[in-house]
Structure 1
């Protein structure tokens, strides 16, 4: 009788263990699926209501998708715009708002004719993308639209926009509290990986410039921690380089530090 009881207990324990393993495997699989979806890079299509006029308000749209889904809760979509004739240092940033079905819109007025670069800085979860679109404003824009409709593409030199640098200036920077400086760098719309990146920090409140070495946390994303001594405006100069490829560039941004 005792042997029979021990045998039944052994069988019961084996059955319970098998059930637990099966449920654990199922939960792990479901977790993997969620992680895989969240790692799918977002895709952004920049659209304009053209032809693009001078000194008239224009609507810029970005359609954000991730896999087969429309992204309606992106952390932010921000357009960076500059005239090629003036260079990237003259760029302006305009925040976009979500309307519906993954469409984010912003209004902008192009003040001069010419060729412009438009970058849609987009953050979805931990993933950042910044596709670039070149547009022509003014009388030439109608001809450009006609060429595109007939399958023709205008040729432009994209050399000025080979490297894109986006410093996260919307973060809350408080004096006396450790903050994280984050920049995203891309080369021809692909993450600029394995680079040497340093933040140069300067301000009227500082006796000398300070330099911080940044670490790459994600492909093309570089971070460094810093504590600002006091409130005010600071200039952050992002230096990026790859000496073996003779690449060295920089981009300046201004941030505000609060009490």
Structure 2
């Protein structure tokens, strides 16, 4: 009798362990499904258009199989190729079905590049597209691109994207948040080493500020500019895969 009782207890213990293992497997499976979800943006832009023609920009935002109807940020940024410092940001219209749209027109021939800046589910992505307007690149644009080809920060690795969120205003003596978004092949570039190199136009003294990754592909640091005036800043990006990129920006510091 005692032997039978021990046998029954052993069987019950094995059954309990199997049930727990099954529960862990199901939980791990659920976690795996959660982990593989990605924020994706299908950015639609016509390849060509005429001068002054209305062009629709459309972004369809998904998170896994879910249509994102409540993105925290959805803005389009466009600029003439080779002149990213003079870009234009436009707000999108949320169509409440996972799509976000805006209309824009271009007043002269050229090749224009653009980002669809999207922040949702604590992630940021910025797919990049281009459009040719009219006859395409003007001679002025070609000359500018040729000149910039000898400047640092313009020959970027294929698929690499950098967007510096230039502050609306920078005041001397006050800490300014510096934030840059990085991506590779339309996915956030994570685990990179990012450093801001800052110097005043009239000075040879360079300051270096290391940034921290606050979200996937988003790197931030605080910096206080001591004096008013014109500054330059180079953002350096490296990672363990051999990536080494840098791009220069102009900043104005006021009282």
TM-score when normalising by structure 2: 0.62
User: How many Å apart are 1:98 and its aligned residue?
Assistant: 1.6
- The answer to whether the Cα contact below 8 Å between 1:169 and 1:255 also exists between their aligned partners in 2 is no
For structure 1, the residue ranges without an aligned partner over 5 or more in a row are 1-24, 141-158
- Aligned-residue CA RMSD in angstroms? 4.5
Distance 2:36 2:231 in 1: 34
Q: 1:126 to 1:227 in 2, by over 3 A?
A: farther
Mapping for residues 151-230 of structure 1, pairs under 5 Å? 162=158, 163-169=160-166, 178-202=175-199, 208-228=205-225
Which residue matches 1:113?
109
The answer as to 2:99 corresponding to 1:103 is yes
User: How many Å apart are 1:122 and its aligned residue?
Assistant: 0.9
Distance 1:244 1:46 in 2: 28
- The answer to whether the Cα contact below 8 Å between 2:59 and 2:99 also exists between their aligned partners in 1 is yes
- The answer to whether the Cα contact below 8 Å between 2:43 and 2:116 also exists between their aligned partners in 1 is yes
- The answer to whether the Cα contact below 8 Å between 1:241 and 1:248 also exists between their aligned partners in 2 is yes
Distance 1:211 1:82 in 2: 29
Distance 2:36 2:250 in 1: 29
Equivalent of 1:122 in 118, 121, 140: 118
User: How many Å apart are 1:108 and its aligned residue?
Assistant: 2.1
For structure 2, the residue ranges without an aligned partner over 5 or more in a row are 1-22, 137-154
The answer as to 2:57 corresponding to 1:60 is yes
Alignment size in residue pairs: 214
Q: What SS does structure 2 have at the residue aligned with 1:133?
A: strand
Q: 1:175 to 1:63 in 2, by over 3 A?
A: farther
Superposed CA offset, 1:149-182 (max 9, x none): xxxxxxxxxx767331112346897776655422
Distance 1:203 1:106 in 2: 38
TM-score when normalising by structure 1: 0.61
Distance 1:238 1:178 in 2: 18
Which residue matches 2:80?
83
